[in-house]
Structure 1
Amino acid sequence: MSTTESRSAAPTAGPGPASRRPAPPTGQAVKETLEDYTLRFAPRSYRRWSPMVVATTALGGIAYLADFSIGAGIGLTHGTGNALLAIAVAAAVIFVTGFPLAYYGARYNIDLDLITRGSGFGYYGSVLTSVIFASFTFIFFALEGSIMAQGLKLGFGMPLWLGYLVSTLMVIPLVIYGMKALSKLQVWTTPIWLVLMVAPLVYLVATDPGTVDRFLAYAGTDGDGGIDTASVLLGAGVCLSLIAQIGEQIDYLRFMPPKTEANKRSWWAAVVMAGPGWVVLGALKQAIGVFLAVYILAEVGPDAAPEPIQQFRGAFDAMMPSWLVVPLAVVLVVISQIKINVTNAYSGSLAWTNSFTRVTKRYPGRMVFVLVNLGFALALMEADMFSFLNSILSFYSNCAIAWVVTVATDIGINKYVLKLSPHAPEFRRGMLYAVNPVGVVAFTAASGLSIAMYFHLFGDALQPYSPVAAVVIAFVLTPLMAIATKGKYYLRRTDDGIAEPPLDADGNPSAVTYDCHVCGQPYERPDLTACAAHDAVVCSLCLSTDTLGEHVLPANA
């Protein structure tokens, strides 16, 4: 830390900036490099990556093959025309809602749970959405693990149950050290993955243009080849289950460097590309999944056509010697599975730890919940969740849509248009109300009513419109609730007791540091508040684990 960054800036009550002497490891938050700043603001001293390295790492996490299965399932059922429209509709919704979330994560260096707390849900209210996000990570871990097990069975004759176990256990060593290890893994494997994914598609189109005609003409098992609104919306509902992927992107984007005049172009490019821009590549993969499924349909049949290992085996078979086909397809599947499932395990552990620590006020460490998340994923794989994939995703998407649209609307409308929600995000205990009805009511209504529609409680005709209902209800109710409550349930306090501003002159989180008097560690200004019981400051994690609440500042009079 430079002398300028650690200048004296005393709080209204408490000591000056962090001293240079070594602090004793007396608290629960003494291994933050290992734990990767699980529950808190990511400090500037740790964020040493360039915008493009962060973006490449984040985009490496979307190397999953589930998109190929999702696109294939929609296309084989509803036909190519309906599938492509469904993919486009879902991509548009995901991009628009993902942009404000990605910006806040990168600008203020906090993850989506911390953003959610101050964007309509409250300190404890966002526990609900953390559990939903954690569910997203183990559902998609199970899906990718199933795809890898299919590859191991084809390539090595390994039983599926053993393949599930191998795909689960192999990510543990890679996810232990968080961003430092993941950035290296994603940067070095991405070029190999891109070549293996794109090369067969280019070859097929170039050597046999008739494949494109057959792809575009495919009518599906439930369609007549025409465009049908219900089919498009049903397909879009499956694709929209991926809307929660923005949470995993933000788990990387929170490590973006400060935005300055010198780096603003690369900073914005990285945020857009690795934030909402992930869905562009995702939509392309879904469309390719439809193409490859139609291409191999006659050879493998409708049950195997959605399996990515079969899709790429068929594609590789057209362009290379037969002895190389299966090994190369297996390599692609294994690389893809590792790239995404280290992200699923990592992000899931953050979400579970966030929820557990706030509810119990105990911090067991992130690795405990890596194992918890992997346990849930393994149970789903052993239950053969791949065989009823679209049903799981269609149901889950209603909850995910309601959450993401609620938070995005609070940022875009309540903060910037109505100005009822505080502009800068707040996440610290004591500064927020336990529950904010704005987000909780909007989310609960949107998810509940859309799920009821999905299960035909409002009639068969409305069932395909459940994802649309989730979007519309969340978008309308979020500002209405803010107006009805006059925005008074966002902040429990407006002053955290420290004189130094939380943002610097450029609007970036301040790098001034103070020692937390509970754990003895130095933390940057946005992570601290004054202590209610002592003439000192306390960090956000020690506040979260304060069982008696003695350090927590009282509410405004």
Structure 2
Amino acid sequence: MSHELPQVADPAAEDHHLTGPAAAATRETLEDYTLRFAPRSYRKWGPGVVAISALGGIAYLADFAIGANIGIANGTGNALWGILFFAVVIVLTGYPLAYYAARYNIDLDLITRGSGFGYYGSVVTNVIFASFTFIFFALEGSIMAQGLKLGLHIPVWLGYLVSSVLIIPLVIYGMNTLAKLQVWTTPLWLVMMVLPFLYLLISHPDAVGDFLAFSGGTDGKGGQHVSFAGTMLAAGVCLSLIAQIAEQIDYLRFMPPKTAENKTKWWTAVITAGPGWVFFGAIKQVVGLFLAVYIILNLTEQAGVANQPVEQFLAIYEDFMPHWLALTLAVILVVISQIKINVTNAYSGSLAWTNSFTRVSKTYPGRIVFLVFNVAIAIVLMEANMFSFLNNLLNFYANCGIAWIVAVASDIAINKYLLGLSPKQPEFRRGMLYNVNPVGFVSLIVAAGASILVYFHVFGDAIQPYSPIVALVLALVLPPIIAVATQGKYYLRRTDDGIDLPMLDADGNPTDTKLMCCVTGIEFERPDMIASNVPGPNGEKQYISSLALSCDKSGEHVLPAQR
């Protein structure tokens, strides 16, 4: 597995005179194909490097806090069953999404457009995803601020600011920089996290029995018994992470073409870095609860902060090394973990906001603008002390995240492959799609809306813990029902993009044949292009890139609908 990353030249150096969409199209190393198919000419990383880069983003410590919180609230039994339920849902829904991203080299927003939502309909899912990124950015930033206060006595408010602003320069240059950061920090992170935990298991074997018998509460006497309601309350918090697959996909879209020679490595990378992220996440949640239980039962004076990851690792380190060294290592671990995940949160959030804004306004402000915007929202959440209402925030968000991800997965698995009502090859280009497709859009609104009402006790207290189930079931069954009712007629506004060249090569990968964009004067690969409705000076057919078409305020380049 090679860790050597290619050096990609900055096209901006060649076309300083361009403005508007043309200028945006040339800033590929900065914009990182924000609204677009990721071309083969840019995808020079091997499957292993892409997978490690994607998995580097799950170094977050929020899992430790989530596991601790659900265990303290519901007891170990309910927490473990809830984590298992969460993992199964993530694997089943994440696989089709990860496959489409890696096979067709598009992010989850572009997949969502052609999987039941339409060109503008997926804007609402982008907002859901952007919310995910700033919620978890704020959560990780809060954890880092706790570490900075403990280790360096930096005031929490200043820690919030430092942990946020530090991320911005690391994210500016997109995948090139992020891949290097993730690859080279992962070994150190693994050593610092795994070895202390193994030491605790070996030196305190009785802690396992205490952990399994734990019934909740910061005094260990919560009295929570295993129940379906308790399991679902725990699963609801965990399922707030369901949108993590979108961040994995922001890396997986850069997978190389799948060929006979690399298919084993290709599939291993897609499955491991796609839905496979949940195995690492679930393990961290269990470990977070284990550490919290150990602190509650053995270090009673620290029971009130047992759900804080920095306190958890400090307690383990102090068991076998001096306080000053334990504190130093705990802070270093927190800082590394926070940087590894928050560069991904900030990066993915900037893509999501830019995508939505450009489609609605036909103006492309650049990804960097929304990078700063996303970080600013996260700072506000941190200053609001989100740790104090973490469970409620994550439970509420889970209803929206589940409705989106499950609806898209349902469309791919059922409508595309079982019913054949949804086009198998994903479509994302303006003019090819209807503005809104009721199949996914209505499914999302109904599933999210109903589950939120359930969560807020509108239908009574008895059903309230099951709001994640409501979101999941409705988002699963509504897309095929609506697709059958509409006969799939709202998927494609056009079936012909006006280009006679094939979209895929002999191996079924997006072709790298290039065409000239009539707006930017730059060549783009075939999957990123569509025929323009405006003929050339001599009446010849012209082509336009998806980015330039997204920014076409006049709409003159958009092909008419096919009747």
TM over 0.5: yes
Match of 1:299 in 2: 300
Task: Judge conservation of contact 2:15–2:26 (CA < 8 Å) in 1.
Answer: no
In structure 1, what residue type is equivalent to 2:48?
M
In structure 2, what residue type is equivalent to 1:550?
E
Q: Give 3-state SS (helix, strand or coil) of 2:401's partner.
A: helix
In structure 2, what residue type is equivalent to 1:241?
S
In structure 2, what residue type is equivalent to 1:239?
C
Task: Judge conservation of contact 1:23–1:520 (CA < 8 Å) in 2.
Answer: no
In structure 1, what residue type is equivalent to 2:467?
S
Report the Cα offset of residue 280 of structure 1. Answer: 0.3
Report the Cα offset of residue 520 of structure 1. Answer: 1.2
Aligned-partner Cα distance in 2 for 1:217–1:151: 30
Encode CA deviations 1:33-57: one digit per residue, 9 max, x unaligned: 2211110000000000000000000
Aligned-partner Cα distance in 1 for 2:168–2:226: 45
Match of 1:441 in 2: 442
In structure 2, what residue type is equivalent to 1:267?
W
Encode CA deviations 1:14-40: one digit per residue, 9 max, x unaligned: xxxxxxx98974513221122111100
Q: Give 3-state SS (helix, strand or coil) of 2:305's partner.
A: coil
Aligned-partner Cα distance in 1 for 2:346–2:15: 33
Q: Give 3-state SS (helix, strand or coil) of 2:33's partner.
A: coil
Match of 1:539 in 2: 545
Task: Judge conservation of contact 1:405–1:471 (CA < 8 Å) in 2.
Answer: yes
Task: Judge conservation of contact 1:23–1:521 (CA < 8 Å) in 2.
Answer: no
Q: Does the alignment pair 1:323 with 2:327?
A: no
Match of 1:290 in 2: 289
Aligned-partner Cα distance in 2 for 1:546–1:205: 61
Match of 2:433 in 1: 432
Aligned-partner Cα distance in 1 for 2:302–2:151: 19
Q: Does the alignment pair 1:473 with 2:471?
A: no
Task: Judge conservation of contact 1:217–1:225 (CA < 8 Å) in 2.
Answer: no
Q: Does the alignment pair 1:32 with 2:17?
A: no
Q: Give 3-state SS (helix, strand or coil) of 1:523's partner.
A: strand
Match of 2:505 in 1: 504
Q: Does the alignment pair 1:197 with 2:193?
A: yes
In structure 2, what residue type is equivalent to 1:129?
T
Aligned-partner Cα distance in 2 for 1:302–1:348: 35
Report the Cα offset of residue 78 of structure 1. Answer: 1.0
Match of 2:10 in 1: none
Match of 1:388 in 2: 389
**Which of the pair has the greater relative contact order for Cα pairs under 8 Å at 6+ separation?**
1
Report the Cα offset of residue 227 of structure 1. Answer: 1.1
Q: Give 3-state SS (helix, strand or coil) of 2:325's partner.
A: helix
In structure 1, what residue type is equivalent to 2:44?
R
Match of 1:131 in 2: 127
Match of 2:407 in 1: 406
Report the Cα offset of residue 515 of structure 1. Answer: 1.3
In structure 2, what residue type is equivalent to 1:366?
R
Q: Give 3-state SS (helix, strand or coil) of 2:515's partner.
A: strand
Task: Judge conservation of contact 2:67–2:289 (CA < 8 Å) in 1.
Answer: yes
Match of 1:462 in 2: 463
Superposition map of 1:15-94 within 5 A: 25=18, 27=22, 28-94=24-90
Report the Cα offset of residue 319 of structure 1. Answer: 2.2
Match of 1:206 in 2: 202
Encode CA deviations 1:42-90: one digit per residue, 9 max, x unaligned: 0000000000000000000010000000000011111111111111101
CA RMSD between the two structures: 1.2
Match of 1:114 in 2: 110
* Count of aligned positions: 537
Q: Give 3-state SS (helix, strand or coil) of 1:391's partner.
A: helix
Superposition map of 1:230-245 within 5 A: 230-245=229-244
Aligned-partner Cα distance in 2 for 1:359–1:528: 20
Q: Give 3-state SS (helix, strand or coil) of 1:362's partner.
A: coil
In structure 2, what residue type is equivalent to 1:304?
V
Report the Cα offset of residue 483 of structure 1. Answer: 0.2
Aligned-partner Cα distance in 2 for 1:23–1:550: 26
Encode CA deviations 1:158-202: one digit per residue, 9 max, x unaligned: 100000000000011100000000000000000111111111110
Report the Cα offset of residue 556 of structure 1. Answer: 0.2
Report the Cα offset of residue 207 of structure 1. Answer: 1.2
Match of 1:217 in 2: 213
Report the Cα offset of residue 365 of structure 1. Answer: 0.4
Match of 1:6 in 2: none
Q: Which runs of 5+ in 2 are unaligned?
A: 1-13, 536-540
Aligned-partner Cα distance in 1 for 2:16–2:309: 52
Aligned-partner Cα distance in 1 for 2:222–2:473: 27
Task: Judge conservation of contact 1:503–1:509 (CA < 8 Å) in 2.
Answer: yes
Match of 1:267 in 2: 266
Deviates more, 1:511-520 or 1:347-356: 511-520
Aligned-partner Cα distance in 1 for 2:330–2:30: 34
Aligned-partner Cα distance in 1 for 2:255–2:147: 35
Q: Give 3-state SS (helix, strand or coil) of 2:412's partner.
A: helix
Aligned-partner Cα distance in 1 for 2:235–2:63: 13
Deviates more, 1:226-235 or 1:292-301: 292-301
TM-score by length of 1: 0.95
Report the Cα offset of residue 522 of structure 1. Answer: 1.2
Aligned-partner Cα distance in 2 for 1:219–1:142: 29
Match of 2:485 in 1: 484
Aligned-partner Cα distance in 2 for 1:498–1:24: 29
Encode CA deviations 1:128-154: one digit per residue, 9 max, x unaligned: 000000000000000000000000000
Match of 2:6 in 1: none
Task: Judge conservation of contact 2:245–2:274 (CA < 8 Å) in 1.
Answer: yes
Match of 1:9 in 2: none
Task: Judge conservation of contact 1:65–1:336 (CA < 8 Å) in 2.
Answer: yes
Aligned-partner Cα distance in 2 for 1:290–1:345: 27
TM-score by length of 2: 0.94
In structure 1, what residue type is equivalent to 2:547?
L
Runs of 4+ more than 4 Å apart: 21-24
Report the Cα offset of residue 321 of structure 1. Answer: 2.3
Match of 1:337 in 2: 338
Match of 1:369 in 2: 370
Task: Judge conservation of contact 1:313–1:329 (CA < 8 Å) in 2.
Answer: yes
Match of 2:138 among 135, 142, 148: 142
Q: Percent identity?
A: 66
Aligned-partner Cα distance in 1 for 2:338–2:482: 41
Task: Judge conservation of contact 2:295–2:303 (CA < 8 Å) in 1.
Answer: no
Match of 1:258 in 2: 257
Q: Give 3-state SS (helix, strand or coil) of 2:403's partner.
A: helix
Match of 2:227 in 1: 228
